[in-house]
Chain A
Amino acid sequence: MKILVTVKEVAEVADDFEIEGRSIPETYLEYDLNEWDDYAVEAAVRIAEDREDEDVEVVAATIGPERSEETIRMALAKGVDRAVRVWDDALAEADVLDPTTTARILAAVAEEEAPDLVLSGVQAADDGFGATGVALADLLDMGWAAVVNDLELTDGDASVRRELEGGVEELTTVPCPAVLTIQTGINEPRYASLRGIRQAQRKELAVHTLADIGLDPSLVDDDLTLAGMAKPESESDATLFEGSAEETAAELATVLRDAGVGAE
């Protein structure tokens, strides 16, 4: 059995940051494995661990520059067997990538790998399109389920719970191969052990250009352009209490008592 996990290195923005033109300078950015993908990695590794008697290979696929290898090594340190990274000058130049373009690139990797199951985070913490997994499934002509917070594999089927709004879950079955987009909370992602980090250095991390995986770089000349970037205007009209913790707590206590809190 082969499981493909799509992972992404995402940028996190510092509390205080500036925007220059249509981008945020590197000094305000920190990079990390996308939180949703961390849960997807954990789900994949657990499937492999639960099926010791079966040969289960977990492969991570990512689109990212060389810098992102550090993040991908984290996935390898957590138990992913090997990784494929796709990067290209054409991608480096794109300021915004249509999620279907992302999906086309990952689909080319997936076609090469022919996985029995694909796990993908529900969304990426940076651009938050939330669309790659389902677009990927459709391009691969696989079944899918989005926003999965519980997963059981039996007899070639994935039985999942989809987390809907308002505390309701949908119980759905989809035959494998399938793409499942994984919601946070499905498991508890492990920390990479020192031993895992050491082992990760020796694991295969293949790098491909678009041409290497049979795609024309013109694929990236897509229909979306980043026309502007701004900090959202604060709409705050909150009364902010200032002073020592003792003073602000006293102010809060007054507000709370006025609202009836603590009244017997």
Chain B
Amino acid sequence: MSATDVLVVADHRRGELRPVSYELLTVGRDLADAMGGDLHAAVVGGDVDRFAEKLDCEGVDAIHTVAEGDEFNHDVTVAAVTALFDTLDPGAVVMPNSVNGLDYAPAVATRLSLPLVTDAVAIDYDDGPTVTREMYGSKVETAIEVTSEPVALTIRGGEWAAAEGVGDADIEPFAVDIDESSIRSTVRGFEEVGAGDVDISEAEFIVSVGRGIEEEENLELIEELAGALDATLASSRPIVDSGWLPKNRQVGQSGKAVTPKVYLAIGISGAVQHVAGMKGADTIIAINTDPDAPIFDIADYGVVDDLFEVVPELIEQFE
């Protein structure tokens, strides 16, 4: 084991590895190649043997299974990852920038006194890692040079290809001596939210509204459009946060993923969390005043104009 090795930590929930786990293997392999070391993967909790088999993709050298608990618990994960790190002594530990990643990665970094760069969208390596990440709501891309190793990183899901193929990694259980008193948080269960009258994930045509609507009373206009188009009304996060629409209408990472034939995004800037939930639409149409809004990067058709000008005209077209 050496400081040229890379350790990645898989993400799972309710019996399934999450897609970012396979992306972590790709990141880890690239980084390990650049550093000249091996790729180690870890999976903590749940059905670790089954997870390990799935994680045994091409390019993975070793998989460490920590059979502690059925579900993610950050106290257990921090204890397991730091213990593994101490044993393996790698040059980098790479974790997901998922909700669970955000719940343990910073503690791993503080406990091991590692520099931490989160939400990486690209990682270059030349004498040390340089991490590309976004600032100011994706308006700016920054390159962060890490001048000290080892380093802790978290990666944004969906930015790397998933690892494939079948590898021949050594799969080994890793025993962690977890002090019961260090387990402070208790997970009591899970709940699906957003059940209700409408399932937007089943909708064929979606009219979706964002911050650009400005006021709650303006929502009526969009409802009218959805009615005229016989489409389902959905929204981005701020509308739900404001309580203007129920949670079951929210499209995005923390809301629902949708795959309609048409997704009409009105006054939606296209934050990465939103895009994660709707990029699978066949046709994406955007109306936004800001020509640089990221929504236009994924739109098939667009109008750069005031929604309050365009939407009434569009309603007229269908009446």
Residues in A lying within 8 Å of B, measured CB to CB: 11-13, 15-17, 19, 24, 96, 98-100, 103, 122, 125-135, 137-139, 143-147, 159, 161-175, 178, 181, 184-185, 188, 222-232, 234-236, 238-242, 245-246, 248-253, 255-256, 259-262
Residues in B lying within 8 Å of A, measured CB to CB: 13-14, 18, 74-75, 78, 97-100, 102-107, 109-111, 113-119, 130, 133-148, 151, 184-194, 204-205, 228-231, 237-238, 240-243, 247-248, 250, 253-257, 261-262, 264, 282-283, 285-287, 290, 292, 294, 296-306, 309-310, 312-314, 316-318
Centre residue among A227, A234, A249 by max chain B CB count within 10 A: A249
Q: Is the CB of A172 within 8 A of B296?
A: no
Cβ 8 A contact of A165, one of B98, B103, B134, B229: B98
Known: A185-B241, A235-B297. Contact between A172 and B261, CB under 8 A? no
Q: Is the CB of A134 within 8 A of B107?
A: yes
Chain A residues near B151 (CB-CB < 8 A): 223
Q: Is the CB of B13 within 8 A of A125?
A: no
A96 CA to B255 CA in the complex, in Å? Answer: 32
Nearest 10 CB-CB pairings of A with B? A249-B313, A143-B184, A185-B241, A223-B148, A228-B143, A223-B115, A253-B317, A131-B106, A245-B309, A135-B106
CB of B135, distance to nearest CB on chain A (Å): 6
Cβ 8 A contact of A130, one of B102, B189, B193, B285: B102
Known: A164-B254, A255-B301. Contact between A100 and B116, CB under 8 A? yes
Q: Give the nearest-CB partner of A146 in chain B.
A: B103
Cβ 8 A contact of B135, one of A99, A128, A171, A223: A128
B contact patch SS: mixed
Chain A residues near B250 (CB-CB < 8 A): 167
Q: Is the CB of A224 within 8 A of B309?
A: no
A255 CA to B262 CA in the complex, in Å? Answer: 10
Q: Is the CB of B257 within 8 A of A166?
A: yes
A25 CA to B103 CA in the complex, in Å? Answer: 34
A164 CA to B147 CA in the complex, in Å? Answer: 33
Cβ 8 A contact of B314, one of A99, A224, A252: A252
Known: A168-B193, A238-B301. Contact between A135 and B240, CB under 8 A? no
Q: Give the nearest-CB partner of A254 in chain B.
A: B317
Cβ 8 A contact of A229, one of B113, B141, B193, B292: B141
A128 CA to B231 CA in the complex, in Å? Answer: 34
